[in-house]
Structure 1
Amino acid sequence: MQLFSTFENTLFLEMAISTLEKKGVKKENIYAVALDNRTEERNLFDSIHNSDGTSMIDIGIALATAFSVIGTSIGFELAWGPIFWGIMSAFIGFVLGVAIRLFTEKVLKKQKRVLRGKQSEVILIVDCDDSQGELVENILWEHLALGVAKVKK
């Protein structure tokens, strides 16, 4: 039986491996593979085939609505009228909102990603007898495995 599990690269992984060795799993039957981190930066704008779930225009739409209401109200007093000033202020609000979103995505969230320094995960493969399968699975869960899968030979 083979058990596949994923761990964050922490001390719990080392503790799980040493516990497995103490419980009778041979060192040759434990295989750990560290995943590489992404080297290229993610695309800021989505394409038709790929989306990361964040919208770049949500703040822009909200600010365009708010600015157009204010611009239309003020436009009754100004020379070119409420329609022109409503459209102009909506455009200004939209551009301002997109600029705010670009700033937060490029500067603030990039700093959080660098500060967090999340390391890549490790895949742990354990080859054991069917009788040890339940014990090995429990050990992996006790040591904070992110996921565990069993494959019978």
Structure 2
Amino acid sequence: MQLLSTFENTIYLEMAISILEKKGIKRENIFAVPLDNRVEERKLFDSIHKSDGTSLIDIAAALATAFSVIGVSIGFKLAWGPIFSGLIAAFIGFVIGLAIRLYTEFILKKRKRVLRGKQSEVILIIECEDREGDLVENILWEHLALGVAKVI
């Protein structure tokens, strides 16, 4: 039987390995593989095949609409008229909304993306007898494994 588990690279991984060795699992039957985590930045624009669920123009479209309504209302008093003033106000609202969204994506969310969640850093593969499977699984869960799978 093989047990596969994922861990963060912490002292709990080392403790789990040492306890497994004390319980009779040979060192040759324990295999730890470090993972390379993603370091490339997210793409700014989505493609037709892949989307991250974040829109860059949602706030921009809302502000363009609001500014154009205000621009049209004010435009009745201006020399250029309501259509041109509405278009100019819509453009200004769109640019402001796009600037807000870009600021939140690149400045605010970049900080949160670095701090958020636990990442698997090491895969631990343990070869053991079927009768030892439950003991090994319990040891892995007690030492904060992120996930455990059995292959019989």
Query: Is residue 56 of structure 1 aligned with residue 51 of structure 2?
Result: no
Runs of 4+ in structure 1 over 6 Å off: none
Aligned residues with identical type, % of pairs: 78
- Equivalent pair of 1:34/1:120 in contact (CA under 8 Å): no
Tell me the equivalent position of 1:106. Answer: 106
Structure 2 equivalent of residue 9 of structure 1:
9
SS for the counterpart of 1:55 is coil
How high is the TM-score relative to the length of structure 2?
0.85
Residue 72 in structure 1 maps to residue 52 in structure 2: no
Which amino acid letter does the alignment assign opposite residue 151 of structure 2? Answer: V
Say whether the 8 Å CA contact 1:9–1:119 is kept in structure 2.
no
Amino acid at match of 1:36: D
Per-residue deviation at 1:43?
Answer: 1.6
In the superposition, the TM-score normalised over structure 1's length comes to: 0.84
How do 1:126-137 residues align onto structure 2 when only pairs under 5 Å count? Answer: 126-137=126-137
Unaligned residue ranges in structure 1 (runs of 5+): none
CA RMSD after TM alignment: 2.2
CA–CA distance in structure 1, aligned partners of residues 111 and 35 of structure 2: 23
- Number of corresponding residues: 151
Contact 2:57-2:97 within 8 A present in 1 as well: yes
Q: Measure how far apart 1:112 and its partner are.
A: 4.6
Tell me the equivalent position of 2:121. 121
**Distance in structure 2 (CA, Å) of the matches to 1:21 and 1:62:** 61
Contact 2:6 2:120 (8 Å CA) reproduced: no
Give the partner amino acid of 2:63: L
d(CA) in 2 for partners of 1:114 and 1:130?
40
- How far apart, in 1, do the equivalents of 2:143 and 2:100 lie? 42
**2: distance between equivalents of 1:14 and 1:146?**
15
Answer yes or no: is 1:22 the counterpart of 2:22.
Answer: yes
SS of residue paired to 1:94: helix
For residues 93 and 83 of structure 2, the distance between their equivalents in structure 1, rounded to whole angstroms, comes to 15
Distance 1:136 1:149 in 2: 11
Whichever residue aligns with residue 51 of structure 1, its letter is S
**Structure 2: stretches of 5+ with no match in the other structure:** none
